[in-house]
Amino acid sequence: RWTTKRPMEHHSSYEKDDLAVTVPTVWACETFFAMFHLPRLLLHSVAMAGNTASPLVLRLMAASVSVADRAGAIVRGVFSSGDLGVVEKGGKNDLQTQADRSAQECIVQSLSRQFPSITIIGEEEPTGETVDESHLETGMSEEVLKATCPQELQSVKDEDVVVWVDPLDGTKEYTEGFLDHVTVLIGVAVNGKAVAGVINQPYYNYKAGPGATLGRTIWGIVGLGAFGVERLVPPTDKRIITTTRSHSNKLVTESIEAMQPDEVLRVGGAGHKVLLVIEGKAHAYVFATPGCKKWDTCAPEAILHALGGKLTDIHGNSLQYHKDVKHPNTGGVLATYSDHDWYLSRMPESVKAAVKP
């Protein structure tokens, strides 16, 4: 696990009367930094310091979208190299690759440099190696910055925020070539609640052939909506459930059977499974076991909620994402397109007794 929270080195926001950075200011900064051969990352920090007219949540999401794009490119680059650098963290179904390590460095270091007072919790342990500056991303998505921040999120402060990072969700599938299962997840929680998220699919469209656009980035904010994906209605003549491909057990099987599905999609990655629900390819994602973690669910939950769906544990409890929470989702996961209460009612009492929050 990688947690970072840097002491505040400077004020990250300004009062209304502060001056915004203008084009001449940026030109002057570029001239000064070029004269002394200083890093452009530092130039960007100076230029963006004046971009505080946007609420924190929008700026953080704008940075996260750009960072997720960069992390997705890193994931593709490692795979193309042919050297995945696979190690086992907790057995054959709990793997880590060089893509996990490099993508996490990209996300955590990029965001922590731009938002030094925000808590960031990543899945992977830090390597202790010198940061590869080529992995860092300094941009901010203009699309996000132009959005209107929901009223209830306009006054969020740094200390209210925790960012949950899964740099490569679906690592086992990544090593086995099931590339469409792979996602990069960046979730934003405010006061313990998932409110915004980014899902990058590095290999979206990878089976579409030459000339197809490879990869996509989906982002959403509760109260605003989600972008980069279209919510589609699932089939009305059958019930489709998606669940784990590699972490099944008796409890998972019993809970799925109780839903009386016509079809079960067993795939990898929590982000991928929630996207199946969003895109109408499945009615519900059912995982009645404590297997997944907060970094698996924060981003997908926020995007699903932004589109009107719902994600809870199998008891119907909301998941909590404050910085001191235990990382495992001990109560399992239930994500639905609609009719959430019906799926909760079908959950066997024996399963609920065994999978406690």
Which residue, among 253, 242, 331, 238, has the nearest Cα to 278 in the 3D structure? Answer: 242
Q: Which of 84, 119, 115, 87 is nearest to 99 (CA)?
A: 84
Burial-class residue 74 by CB neighbours within 10 Å (0-12, 13-18, 19+): buried
Active site residue 119: no
In whole angstroms, give the CA distance from residue 224 to residue 148. 8
* CA-to-CA separations, 235 to 273, 276, 338, in angstroms, rounded: 17, 12, 12
Candidates 97, 119, 138, 171; catalytic one? 171
Quick one: CA dihedral 321, 181, 285, 88, positive or negative? negative
DSSP states of 164-212: EEEEEE-HHHHHHT-GGG-EEEEEEEETTEEEEEEEEETTTTTTS-TTP
∠ CA 301-249-1, nearest 5°, is 50
**Catalytic hit among 52, 69, 97, 100:** 100
- DSSP tag of 153: G
What one-letter code names the amino acid at 114? Q
The Cα 142–Cα 165 span in angstroms is 22
Q: Which of 217, 224, 329, 235 is nearest to 275 (CA)?
A: 217
Other Cβ atoms within 10 Å of 338 Cβ, number = 15
339 assigned to active site = no
* Residues β-bridged to residue 87: 96
Compute the distance between CA of residue 61 and CA of residue 140 in angstroms, rounded to an integer. 8
Tell me how crowded residue 324 is: count the other CB atoms within 10 A of its CB: 8
Backbone angles phi, psi at 266, to 5 degrees: -100, 105
| Residues recognised as catalytic | 100, 171
